Amino acid sequence: MRSPRVVKVKTIVVIGAESAGLTSAASARLRDRDARIVVMERNPYPLYHPCGIPFAIGGRVRSISDLVEQKPRLQNVEMKTSTEARAIDIKDKEVEAIDLKTSKEEVIQYDSLVIATGSLPIRPPIHGIDLENVFTVHSISDGERIIAAVQTAKKALIIGGGLIGIETAEALRERGLEVTVVEMLPSVLANMLDADMSEIVLGKLREIGINVMCGRKVEEIVGDGRVSKVRAGGEEFPADLVIVAAGFRPNVELARAAGIEIGITRAIKVDERLMTSAEDVYAAGDCVEARHLITGKPTLSQLATTAIRMGRVAGANAAGGNENFPGVLNTAVTSIHGLEVASTGLTSQAADSAGIKPVSMRVRVLDKPRYYPGAQPITIKLIADSNDGRLIGGQVIGNDAGARVNLLAFAIRSRTTVWELSKMEYCYAPPVVDDIEPLIVAADALARRLA
């Protein structure tokens, strides 16, 4: 009588339980029903939604605790919260970890590992940045401290005019504070929008009472223990609350210490399967560099959507799959006082920097027939490669901007030309959209310019 065959159960370890990490664990479980899957997270909760923090500060989200997922829907996964991975041994395939509550140390062996350590807020070397009431917007505790400070603060200054900076500025304005945004670049949302589109956002911010100063650098944060003013561009701005929204850097120290290769973007370098330079070690999320679908070059894509997409691939491959991650266009959207702002692909300036000669067209039309109540203007800018008319970028401001940019992202990935987009079939009903879809109007105008 033959003895039963012994099947070795695979152990998959995931470091980090934010979007990329938990998606990796879920994807690995779908691929391998029997594997032991262990997720380590240094926070005391398994998952939170950092993109929601500005909206909790502003009061649109009832409580910041609503951003925490206490019980993520994961099937048969060992969740080790308040557990910090201290070291990775890629030779012996071990992770050294410590329980932050009990100080108990443990070593877990893995067959496959996913690093999803995320990113950390950049704190520029500004004198006074460690004063009281100077915050970043990254963690639940950051949000809690800001909400507490808002109770007595009168004047806020935001360092940085990117997505987090603009969203937090609006949140603080909604709480009744006087708000100033200082941006070092010539325009706000410069990674998303060309300057002419950024002007629309600037107008909206000023309309709701936010003071925006572009092309200025913060030189000093001043105060005696607690911030009282900020010096920027040779001027002084009174402030009893400062938000540092200068971006995020990949959290790669654990990977670097293990000897895993770091790329030119200072994020973890991976191949198409999201495997690192170490065998059976994958990485996903903000700590990873991605390939830009248009330029083909490494880039950072610190978006929750990218983290989730990467997590699906890294988790599946850690469990024995063979999936590829296609790359990114950095498709993003926000809403400023009800005005949707979205973009995908390259801006005109980014295209120039990448050696692509862009041609663009901006149109402003109504989103519904002029006779229909509530029709609102929508502004669309399309960018194409002047050599072949292939779409390489799109920016939309107005109702349903996010949905239209999602369509443009698919078109860009499919290497669609302006002429092909102008022939796209679309729907029409007066309560929903005009009889000529605004994207078609923009494509027709750009096609005429290319001709």
According to the model, what pLDDT value does residue 47 have? 86
DSSP string, 357-407: -EEEEEEEEESS-TTSTT--EEEEEEEEETTT-BEEEEEEESTTHHHHHHH
Of 285, 287, 274, nearest to 120 by C-alpha is: 287
**Topology classification of domain 123-246:** FAD/NAD(P)-binding domain (3.50.50)
Helices 304-318 and 19-31, packing angle to 10 deg: 30
Q: Give the model confidence (pLDDT) of 265-310 as tens digits.
A: 999 999 999 999 999 999 999 999 999 999 999 999 999 999 999 9
Instruction: Tell me the domain boundaries of the chain.
Output: 11-120+249-318, 123-246, 340-450
List all residues 6 or more positions away from 167 whose beta carbon is below 8 Å from its beta carbon: 54, 55, 334, 336
Q: What is the pLDDT of residues 427-449, one digit of tens each?
A: 999 999 999 999 999 999 999 99
Domain pair 11-120+249-318 / 123-246, same fold? yes
User: Out of 51, 214, 287, 427, which one is annotated catalytic?
Assistant: 51
Give CA–CA dist 361/384, Å, rounded: 9
CA 295 and chain centroid, separation: 19
pTM (two decimals): 0.94
Sequential DSSP letters for 117-142: --EEE-----BTTTSBTEEES-SHHH
Q: What is the CA radius of gyration of the chain?
A: 24
Number of Cβ atoms within 10 Å of the Cβ of 79: 20
Nearest to residue 75, comparing CAs of 17, 108, 32, 115? Answer: 32
Contacts of 141 (CB under 8 A, 6+ apart): none
Mark whether 214 is an active-site residue. no
Q: CA 55, CA 167: separation in Å to the nearest integer?
A: 8
Residue 235 clears pLDDT 80, i.e. is over it = yes
CATH code, 11-120+249-318 = 3.50.50.60
| CATH of the domain spanning 340-450 | 3.30.390.30
Whether residue 136 has pLDDT greater than 70: yes
pLDDT band at 6 (very low <50, low <70, confident <90, very high): low
Q: Are 395 and 402 in contact (CB under 8 A)?
A: no
Rounded to an integer, what distance in angstroms lies between the CA atom of residue 425 and that of residue 358?
A: 26
65-89 tens-digit pLDDT: 999 987 777 788 999 999 999 999 9
Using one digit for the tens of pLDDT, what is the confidence trace for 195-234? 999 999 999 999 999 999 999 999 999 999 999 999 999 9
Predicted local distance difference test score (pLDDT) of residue 73: 75
Q: Which two tokens stand for residue 35?
A: 């594997």
